[in-house]
Homo-oligomer: A and B are copies of this chain.
Amino acid sequence: MQSDIEIAQAAEVWPIDDIAAKVGLQKHEVEPYGRDKAKINIDPTVARKTALGKLILVTSINPTPAGEGKSTVTVGLSDALALAGKNVMIALREPSLGPVMGMKGGATGGGYSQVVPMADINLHFTGDFHALTSAHNTLAAVIDNSIYQGNPLNIDPRRMIWKRALDVNDRALRHTVIGLGGPTSGVPREDGFDITVASELMAILTLSHDLMDLKARIEKIVIGYTYDREPVTVKELGVAGALTTLLKDAIKPNLVQTLAHTPTLIHGGPFANIAQGTNSIRATKTALQLADYVVTEAGFGADLGGEKFLDFKVPLLGKTPDAIVIVATVRALKMHGGKAKDDLKTPDVEALKRGLANLGQHLNAMMRYGVPVVVAVNRFVTDTPEEIETVAAYAREHGAEAYLANVWEQGGAGAPELAQAVIEAVERPSVFKPLYDFEDEAMDKLNKIVTTIYGGAGVELSDKAAKQLKQFAKYGWDKLPIIMAKTQYSLSDDAKKLGAPKDFKIHVREFVPKLGAGFLVAMTGSILTMPGLPKHPAAYDIDIDENGHITGLF
């Protein structure tokens, strides 16, 4: 069996201009990065065909260490739609470099359902994340310089929100003290680093329609508070223009291709807990202008990325989805049913049946939005026919059809029925019903998310969070959309509660205002915004030879 990187490096990759031509892009709209990557620069508000493409959201059950293969299914489904003669584009998130050196697989699919050039996409790609790192840390340097140069904005160094950022898994940078070394080296204060994808600039970049929208959002970022507890914004610091200049290319979506040469936009990678968790609005809009079918995914499970896509991204996008695909695997469902990770290869219909409650909750949650929902069972070689039929029967009982996706092994040829089901689903009449209005009170929004999407009993605020809501009302921030930062492993805020827990409360520890992105993050449990490396990091195994041939990348 070949590894992902072996398959990817052996692939025949078409010149990117040929991929661009498949969706009607002209040469002046394509900025090449090498011969197999490009940035696309079109105005996605200008119609290029009679109707926007059909929008298909791929989401999943709660992820487990067993792996769900959501990206793999997204790529395989798209290639299957292309095989069925459809004009299709994919809109994915960019992988973060930090985890690539740590332990996580990339976001470029797997097996014969991959996006290429796989190594480049997982390493520096077209430099978008590096531009974000630069902009993020330029702002941090300007803030500390302002404090050092007489502090004209009266910034309280003990009440900072803006930290520094690096696209590295580096736990030692989580909590730091900076400004040491005497009077010429700044003002000492507590600080810390987030991984770049956790930067508010990432959320902003992927929400911005154009450069001026980007600049306006950057101006609104609150970086901390004055000694008088008034918020301090980037507008007051006067560097929104410089930061926007640093992001002038990063705002343009990146074009690559699948192994089957399906045009794929990969752009932006905000987390699905502390941010909206989907690729950029600009990339999605660009794809909708260029293709008849646009397949996109949202991070983590339907409770996190799915909910945020539907309640937060859709209103900004101005286009509702035409179908939702929920990815599940027999292996992961068995884990949700209590089976140990090391024991997943043995058939166990009883564990599977117990775990199906997790799929059931996500199915109910997604179906309430009024959009057709299809279940995709991402096939592993150890799955038995009885196990697969058990999932299909469960889905049918809950009002949806389940189809096999054998795309890791066969590419698009492994999912003809799934593709056909999606083609039929997007033609079904549907009326999109959002979960909440932006004007709802914060507590109403929170409770709707917890009860309807998570199947929980409601929300509890810490004293600090309750106090913050009152304070935010004073600043006019209390009606912002809520972005729930919760563990991805459970529908509850306890990562160990698999399956479909009941009667639980979600505990909001604090809110983090993201004024540029335009949302309030509700922090539950301990969400790490700077990962660490494992005992044996992937970096130990990555190597390159004299011909540039890479090994050990997953």
Contacts and interface: CB of A to CB of B under 8 A. Distances in A.
Contact of A176 (B119, B145, B178, B553): B178
A187 interface: yes
Contact of A172 (B119, B186, B245): B186
A239 B100 CA distance: 13
A149 interface: yes
Interface in A514-554: 532-533, 535, 537-540, 542-546, 548, 550, 552-553
Contact of A142 (B167, B241, B533): B533
Contacts of A119: 245
A194 B500 CA distance: 49
A19 interface: no
Interface residues of A, number: 78
Contacts of A184: 171, 532
B546 A210 contact: yes
Contacts of A546: 210-212
Contacts of A545: 211
A185 interface: yes
A76 to B, nearest CB: 27
Interface string A181-213: 100111100011000000000000000001110
Contact of A177 (B148, B180, B553): B180
A33 interface: yes
A137 B187 CA distance: 24
A84 to B, nearest CB: 34
A346 to B, nearest CB: 33
B124 A148 contact: no
A112 to B, nearest CB: 24
Contacts of A187: 172
A406 interface: no
Contacts of A67: none
Contact of A130 (B134, B144, B149): B134
Given A32-B33, A137-B166, A173-B178, 19 more contacts: A123-B245, A124-B127, A124-B131, A141-B533, A144-B170, A144-B172, A148-B171, A171-B185, A172-B179, A174-B180, A174-B185, A175-B179, A175-B181, A175-B185, A238-B540, A241-B552, A245-B550, A248-B544, A248-B548
